[in-house]
Structure 1
């Protein structure tokens, strides 16, 4: 009888722990920065337009290498945005910008989860490009949705507090804008 009671207590604690882990590992809205507070941060404070792009390598390089090389070659605040370079281009509406900044600044884990995801190859196919009122590129976020990693053109710019589901939320904005390469289509 004591063994049965012990097993019941042990199994109930295991179930509770699993539920607690699942709650901690979910990306949820943990902050409530207003739209104006979010837009006051760089680069949103200096941005006139935000472009979502996909970039399909045309040369025989590793997937993502050509996009990274292109973004590395951009002279910020000097180079104009040229849509003909990219495979697909979409301009975010004010509603979509609000959704993007909400994801970046207001979502995170309630508590850091107990496990760490596995690292995969970094093969970026997409980017978010920030333009000023004269169409000059002022900043960018290069994204690999395959491994949920990114890099930015500035230390001032990031995707906020880490939480894995952020990449799926941002990916949904790309889908909404009809960007396919790197989102629903790979190679």
Structure 2
């Protein structure tokens, strides 16, 4: 089907996978990218949670991104107020891929060449559950959306 892509390179090369939560990024990091030359450009003082996925949760994330499929009639909103970032590191602690997610609208942005099964709002709660199980506690509750 058109929305399926099996490029699993970040999982094949990653020595660890980290999930970070933070308040809506566009309020405190408006300019430029978030990764450059394998380094994170975001100010970590804004991070609320930062966890490394264990083997079980890595498998769940893999399943979510590459095995499960969204309903082709599904939808996403276009708010894109990202609060969660998934980082894939190599053995030298360099970031080799990222996936930034807005759980509110099921929209995401990823590093160049990182392809995965598109997810719509019909599956976004599963990703939030993976984050919760990993120890992420922040999901934008009570956040002031005004600039």
Q: Verify same fold: TM over 0.5.
A: yes
Kept in 2, the 8 Å contact 1:76–1:139? The answer is: no
Q: Which runs of 5+ in 1 are unaligned?
A: 1-30, 32-37, 57-62
**CA deviations over 1:133-177 (Å, ceiling 9, x no partner):** 1211111101000111000012x2134144433321111011112
Task: Give TM-score scaled by structure 1 length.
Answer: 0.62
Q: 1:83 to 1:43 in 2, by over 3 A?
A: farther
Task: Give TM-score scaled by structure 2 length.
Answer: 0.77
Q: Which runs of 5+ in 2 are unaligned?
A: none
Match of 2:77 in 1: 119
- In 2, Cα distance between equivalents of 1:186 and 1:51: 25
* 1:108 is the counterpart of 2:69: yes
Match of 1:99 in 2: 60
Task: Find the residue that maps to 2:130 and give its secondary structure.
Answer: helix
* 1:148 is the counterpart of 2:106: yes
Match of 2:49 in 1: 88
- In 1, Cα distance between equivalents of 2:21 and 2:142: 11
1:129 to 60, 67, 87: 87
Task: Find the residue that maps to 2:20 and give its secondary structure.
Answer: strand
Report how far residue 131 of structure 1 moved: 0.9
- In 1, Cα distance between equivalents of 2:25 and 2:41: 19
1:173 to 121, 130, 133: 130
- In 2, Cα distance between equivalents of 1:158 and 1:186: 32
How many pairs are equivalent?
138
Task: Find the residue that maps to 1:180 and give its secondary structure.
Answer: coil
Kept in 2, the 8 Å contact 1:55–1:181? The answer is: yes
1:1-187 matches, cutoff 5 A: 41-56=8-23, 63-66=24-27, 69=30, 72-77=33-38, 79=39, 84-85=44-45, 86-109=47-70, 112-113=72-73, 117=75, 119-154=77-112, 156-182=113-139, 185-187=141-143
Task: Find the residue that maps to 2:33 and give its secondary structure.
Answer: helix
